[in-house]
Amino acid sequence: MVASSQFEPGASVRISGYGPFRGLRGIIRKVDHIPYQQYLDEPHKFYLIDLQGAYIKEPIWFEYDEVEPSASYEWEERIPAGQIA
């Protein structure tokens, strides 16, 4: 999971969190965050994502640690297992 990434609306992402949407790709529509607080290490972000291939047609909110860039996942798909250093 990519915890420190910050995505902008329009970015293509993949859901990496455990749950029914894991592995689906989507487009970020909106970004919301909780400003820095003493008990948080960094600002906490939420992403409203239009999922591709989901049975739910409206966008869904995900926490920052549940999404990763879809490009990194596509790169991993092209490399045969055992060849990633």
pLDDT tens for residues 17-63? 888 999 999 999 999 987 766 666 666 889 999 999 888 889 999 99
pTM value is 0.71
63-83 per-residue burial string, b: 16 or more CB within 10 A, e: under 16: ebebbbbbeebeeeeeeeeee
pLDDT tens for residues 54-76? 888 899 999 988 999 987 544 44
Instruction: Identify the structural domains of the chain with CATH numbers, from first to last.
Output: 12-78 (2.30.30)
Strands 12-15 and 60-63 turn out to be unpaired
Q: Mean pLDDT over residues 5-19, rounded?
A: 88
What is the rounded distance in angstroms from the CA atom of residue 39 to the CA atom of residue 49? 27
Listed residue (25, 26, 30, 23) closest to 8, CA to CA: 30
**pLDDT recorded at residue 35:** 72
The first and second tokens of residue 7, run together, are 């995505």
